[in-house]
Amino acid sequence: MAAVTADRSSVGAIPQLGHAVILLGPPGAGKGTQAQRIAARYHLPHLSTGDMFRDHIRRETELGKRAKPLMERGELVPDDLVLSMVEERIAQPDCRNGFVFDGFPRTLAQAGDLERICQKQKFGCTFVLHMVVEPTLLMRRLTGRRICKAGGHIYNIYDRPPKREGICDQDGSELIHRPDDTEGVISERLHAYEVQTRPLVEYYTVRKLLSPVDAMAQADDVTASIARILDGAQIPR
Ligand SMILES: [Zn+2]
């Protein structure tokens, strides 16, 4: 049987039952964690444009050569480059049953282009999970974050404090409050997110693709509510 279902890996193989799952939510909403869990549960690849760029740069592809100087200068990579990459990635055989996108699309233009790519490649319905969190709670999550200097272990002085203040439980090293985790910087980031994302929320609401998820609950409960939405939609597992 294994031979029958073995990956034929022919580029351009058309996925029949594919579902695009998109996670929309502000920084601190737990998108990364939930994306990983959804990917594992449904055996779907977890995609991020950052990983794609790093991969192209490492393989020194044409796209990678165009993207590298922009990324090194910290400039925005233009939409056409992002989309070429996304289109190529989604055409890979591991995406034929769908994929989980975290942090993309970010703009209305990207959402429209992603929709066209998905139609072209015969993907089924797109699920957009909107991770909803109160701004005050986000602020608490983000300003309370402390990171271990040695091992990158993450704590939160409000929700997940270390046993000894300022010290990592796991390796005893110092916990750092990063300069971009302060209230001023965070409130700017959240505002920028809000301005950028509001049109996307409307776009997907009009298309009846948006499912709100209460992302203020514990991570396991958030996973459970996402699973109810996707299982209800009969995504093949
Ligand atoms: Zn540590």
User: CA torsion 155→160→165→166, rounded to 10°?
Assistant: 10
For residue 24, the CA-to-ligand 1 centroid distance in Å is 30
For residue 86, the CA-to-ligand 1 centroid distance in Å is 35
Read off the pLDDT band of 2 (50, 70, 90): very low
Taking the C-alpha atoms of residue 59 and residue 43, their distance in angstroms, rounded to an integer, is 25
For residue 167, the CA-to-ligand 1 centroid distance in Å is 8
Catalytically active residues are: 31, 106, 145, 178, 189
**Does 207 map to a domain?**
yes
pLDDT at 168: 96
For residue 158, the CA-to-ligand 1 centroid distance in Å is 18
Taking the C-alpha atoms of residue 211 and residue 60, their distance in angstroms, rounded to an integer, is 38
> How many domains does the chain divide into?
1
CATH of the domain at 34: 3.40.50.300
Higher pLDDT, 18 or 59: 59
Q: What's the pLDDT tens digit per position in 47-80?
A: 988 889 889 999 999 999 998 998 888 777 888 8
Q: What's the pLDDT tens digit per position in 154-210?
A: 899 988 899 999 999 999 999 999 888 889 988 988 898 889 889 999 999 999 999
**Does 129 map to a domain?**
yes
Over 50: is that where the pLDDT of 22 sits? yes
Percentage of the chain exceeding pLDDT 90: 51
**Does 5 map to a domain?**
no
C-alpha distances in Å from residue 65, one per residue of 47, 55, 62, 232? 21, 11, 5, 43
Domain that holds residue 55: 18-232
Over 90: is that where the pLDDT of 8 sits? no
Percentage of the chain exceeding pLDDT 70: 91
* pTM, full prediction: 0.78
Helix (H) or strand (E) holding 101: strand 98-102
